[in-house]
Amino acid sequence: MRVLIVGAGTGGLCLAQRLHGAGIDVAVFERDRTRTDGLFGYRVGISPDGSRALRSCLPRPLFETFKATAAITPKYTNFVTKQLGELFSAGGPADEDLLAPVDPEAGERSVSRMTLRQILLSGLDVHFDKKFQRYTQNPDGTVTAHFADGTEATGDLLVGADGTSSNVRKQYLPHAKLVETDLFGVTGKLPLNDETRALLTPQMLRGVTMVFAPKGINAIFHVMEFEWQRGQTDPELVKAWPGMTFDNTRDYIMWGFGSHRRLLPPEFMSMPGPALHHLVLQRTKSWHPNLRTLFELADPTSCFPLNIRMSEPVEPWPSSTVTLLGDAIHTMTPGLGVGANTALRDAQILGDNLVRMPVLDAVADYERQMHGYAWDAVVKSRARFNGNSLAYKPVIGRAGLALMRTGMRVVNHVRPLKRRMLRAELKNRDHARQEA
Ligand SMILES: Cc1cc2nc3c(=O)[nH]c(=O)nc-3n(C[C@H](O)[C@H](O)[C@H](O)COP(=O)(O)OP(=O)(O)OC[C@H]3O[C@@H](n4cnc5c(N)ncnc54)[C@H](O)[C@@H]3O)c2cc1C
């Protein structure tokens, strides 16, 4: 059996690792020119589902490298106002029993995308600079992928793991639609050092912090602190080195700023980093001085724009020698933070099936399972992050925000409610808890 995978992203590479490890002939085709193209270095949260998939697909030494290169796992989930007033915070000693992972090795991890990609690429046959254009399904049951440079490759199965704008999906399921959420974002990075650490509350330092401001404007802060690098570099040298912001092995803080399209300039998606940085500073003038300084200290050239889109759930289709995984079929908003984890789960299921079953049975069983958990995640992510929700409405949005804040404060103070919410959150990221 020969498997062709289009896209060397999180899902495609994880599947390739699983098949390669089982001795199956697998080739990956990636449009990027090099292994570091197109990676802005932002962080990704790998859930217990994602960690479990990586453990089952990667050779042991690579899984150990994944564990060793992760940042310190965030403990707290914090929701705050723009003045850093606490709305909700979970993850302290009183919640430790709930937070204890079901499977300690497959726990929550916070990793740099660049590092994860380098781990996933290790040992694989990846063809860079191969932009997939179309495929043909041949009379002998094979499938041929055609690339922009005029070359082609033939195999028994074509897996479209080519992300949100997937060309494989456009040909295979032309009726599958991407929808706009009308939400846009900017991300930025700054070094974590004594100066910036002093701007964080203890819960921010060891957690993921979301800021809810009027008009639906929001922000998120992640701290990436790497134990494996501690004490290995002269801090003065790092401070004086501009490239530090782009080096994923040094400690950093990453922030994201989000807003409705209505409040942003029409040219937002083509604005360069410094202009985006300036825009964030303008829109957060009335925020707490510490948050302002965290925005200010980001390197303007590390800022880039995001357009949040999502897939419309699709009815099951007859399975064939072409299939799709990850964002190529189920792009979701960052509402639950499980897009990459769902891509990893796809890779684990499809990979395990291909090792054990004939191709068509493997694909049919994978797609049957995927239609359940993936659309569930798409719908839940939309409920969390959607430009139509009350918080973004011009006039009643203020009342919506007040209502939401009151709800969060109540939950924060009523312990049984808080634990119930935390439990539900944990189940979204760990399906072993749902089954337990
Ligand atoms: C700001 C932000 C934060 C996020 N945080 C999280 C998080 O914390 N946790 C989480 O689980 N998810 C998160 N996500 C979602 C996550 O990034 C995606 O769901 C995940 O990357 C999808 O993986 P994938 O393999 O399907 O696609 P991708 O990782 O997008 O990979 C697709 C690959 O296909 C290649 N490609 C595209 N077209 C072609 C072509 N024509 N020919 C050849 N190659 C092609 C691309 O270059 C790319 O390498 C976040 C997303 C955003 C935007």
pLDDT in tens, 146-192: 999 999 999 999 999 999 999 999 999 999 999 999 999 999 999 99
Pick the most confident of 231-235, 254-258, 407-411, 414-418: 254-258
DSSP structure string for 353-397: HHHHS-HHHHHHHHHHHHHHHHHHHHHHHHHHS-TTSGGGSTTTH
Question: Could you tell me if the CB of 334 is within 6 A of ligand 1?
Answer: yes
Indicate if the pLDDT at residue 36 is higher than 80: no
The amino acid sitting at 41 is: G
Question: Could you tell me if the CB of 337 is within 6 A of ligand 1?
Answer: yes
Residues of the chain within CATH 3.50.50.60 domain(s) are 2-72+104-179+314-384
Spacing, Cα 8 to ligand 1 middle (Å): 9
Least confident of 25-29, 34-38, 213-217: 34-38
Helix H or strand E encompassing 119: helix 113-121
Residue 434 backbone phi and psi in degrees, to 5 = -65, -35
The Cα 307–Cα 420 span in angstroms is 32
Question: Could you tell me if the CB of 310 is within 6 A of ligand 1?
Answer: no
Q: Can you give the pLDDT at residue 389?
A: 74
- The sign one gets for the Cα dihedral 310, 340, 423, 210 is negative
Map tokens 């590092």 to a residue.
115
Counting residues of the chain whose pLDDT is more than 90, the rounded percentage is: 72
Pick the most confident of 160-174, 397-411, 413-427: 160-174
Q: Can you give the pLDDT at residue 190?
A: 92
Question: Coil, strand or helix: which one is 304?
Answer: strand
CB 26 within 8 A of CB 2: yes
How much is the mean pLDDT over the chain? 91
- The tokens describing 307, both together, are 């357009």
Question: Could you tell me if the CB of 184 is within 6 A of ligand 1?
Answer: no
Q: Can you give the pLDDT at residue 101?
A: 79
Question: Could you tell me if the CB of 11 is within 6 A of ligand 1?
Answer: yes
Q: Can you give the pLDDT at residue 39?
A: 57
For 234-267, letters b (16+ CB in 10 Å) and e give eeeeeeeeeebbbbbebbbbbbbbbbbbeebeee
Q: Can you give the pLDDT at residue 14?
A: 98
The per-residue pLDDT for range 44-89, each reduced to its tens digit, is 999 999 999 999 999 999 999 999 989 999 999 999 999 999 999 9
- The tokens describing 255, both together, are 């922030």
Higher pLDDT, 247 or 398: 398
Q: Can you give the pLDDT at residue 33?
A: 86
**Ligand 1 atom at minimal distance to the Cα of residue 131:** 42
CB 33 within 8 A of CB 189: no
- In 3D space, the residue among 34, 11, 2, 18 whose CA is nearest the CA of residue 124 turns out to be 18
Q: What is the mean pLDDT of residues 364-374?
A: 97
The Cα 116–Cα 68 span in angstroms is 11
Higher pLDDT, 404 or 166: 166
Q: Which residues share a beta bridge with 183? A: 260, 308
Q: Can you give the pLDDT at residue 320?
A: 98
- Give the rounded distance of the alpha carbon of 186 from its chain centre: 15
- In 3D space, the residue among 283, 191, 181, 196 whose CA is nearest the CA of residue 243 turns out to be 191
Spacing, Cα 132 to ligand 1 middle (Å): 16
Q: Name the band, by pLDDT with cuts 50, 70 and 90, for residue 103.
A: confident
Does the reported pTM lie above 0.85? Answer: yes
The Cα 27–Cα 248 span in angstroms is 28
Indicate if the pLDDT at residue 98 is higher than 80: yes
Q: What is the mean pLDDT of residues 336-363?
A: 97
Higher pLDDT, 393 or 259: 259
Q: Can you give the pLDDT at residue 237?
A: 64
- In 3D space, the residue among 285, 286, 299 whose CA is nearest the CA of residue 255 turns out to be 299
Please say whether the structural domain 2-72+104-179+314-384 has been given the CATH code 3.30.2270.10. Answer: no
Residues of the chain within CATH 3.30.9.60 domain(s) are 181-309
Burial of 120 (0-12, 13-18, 19+ CB in 10 A): buried
Q: Can you give the pLDDT at residue 227?
A: 81
Q: Name the band, by pLDDT with cuts 50, 70 and 90, for residue 238.
A: low
Map tokens 């070094």 to a residue.
191
The Cα 344–Cα 17 span in angstroms is 11
Q: Name the band, by pLDDT with cuts 50, 70 and 90, for residue 104.
A: confident
CB 160 within 8 A of CB 7: yes
For residue 103, what is the DSSP state?
Answer: S
CB 399 within 8 A of CB 214: no
Classify domain 181-309 at the CATH topology level.
Answer: D-Amino Acid Oxidase; Chain A, domain 2 (3.30.9)
Q: Can you give the pLDDT at residue 243?
A: 65
Higher pLDDT, 225 or 399: 225
Indicate if the pLDDT at residue 231 is higher than 80: no
- In 3D space, the residue among 195, 184, 186 whose CA is nearest the CA of residue 278 turns out to be 186
Spacing, Cα 249 to ligand 1 middle (Å): 21
Question: Could you tell me if the CB of 258 is within 6 A of ligand 1?
Answer: no
- In 3D space, the residue among 307, 293, 311 whose CA is nearest the CA of residue 255 turns out to be 293
